[in-house]
Amino acid sequence: MTATTHDIIQSTVKPVLVLDSGIGGLTVLREARVLMPERSFIYVADDAGFPYGGWEEIALTERLLALFRRLIDTHDPEVCIVACNTAFTLAGAALRAEFPNMTFIGTVPAIKPAAERTRSGLVSVLATPGTVKRAYTRDLIQSFASQCHVRLVGSENLARMAEAWIRGEAVSDEAVLAEISPCFVEADGKRTDIIVLACTHYPFLANVFRRLAPWPVDWLDPAEAIARQARRKVELIPGAEHPESFDFAIFTSGQPDFTTRRLMQGFGLKIAM
């Protein structure tokens, strides 16, 4: 292959943009990179708006629309992965309507696969309060899990705990257990056997969850399924290679701390200033 041909191929390979309110979307980025090694990635942490769970619906939708206007105009990505259940269950339809020429891969609670896998029929969905109260989430239950008993558990604190944990800060067992305990249900001799992790931050704490759980359950992490869906939507261009330059991360606050910078380096991301 001549250098000219190689350059032409590389020029057609647009980046994949991944957005989350914080660093939880790194769980999705990690899986997406495995399946799309030829693509560069732009990771956007809207830390100035973190956490999304407490936002009013109209205000958060307007924020996301304005943010994506800038991001799409500046970076011209191939697709956008919204790696946040709260954001996509709220604003996914509005984003697709506002940007009809852009492909959005959303993150929604993995209720359908949970309903397919459960043996006891007792499923819990561990999410942010914003995801729990969405009609979108309840529609998923009605459509795919009507034969199950689904408990929705909205955690006010776990996203912050997961951010602290992945940065190496101490998080007490008691605090984590208080957040996950409502997920464990016993009824008519049966027990919860699947817990859906409906926030991309939560898989960072999965090993802690397993250690503290009163009995073994299947913790359902949707990151791999999101990445597979993105791969289906992103054309595989023969001869394309991952660019030599690092992928990069954008923090909307413009002020990621030292620990966060080190974490981004560990994920092979340089900070865009």
Catalytic center residues: 84, 199
Q: How does strand 190-191 pair with strand 186-187?
A: antiparallel
Helix H or strand E segment including 71? helix 57-75
> CA-CA distance, 83 to 63, in Å (whole number)?
16
Contact 186, 120 (CB under 8 A): no
> CA-CA distance, 198 to 111, in Å (whole number)?
9
Helix H or strand E segment including 95? helix 85-98
DSSP labels, 191-253: E--EEEEESTTGGGGHHHHHHH-SS--EEE--HHHHHHHHHHHS---TT----SSPEEEEETT
**C-beta neighbour count of 193 within 10 angstroms:** 18
Closest to 19 (Cα-Cα) out of 69, 93, 59: 69
> CA-CA distance, 264 to 255, in Å (whole number)?
13
H and E: helices and strands count for the chain: 12, 12
First-to-last C-alpha distance (Å) of the chain: 35
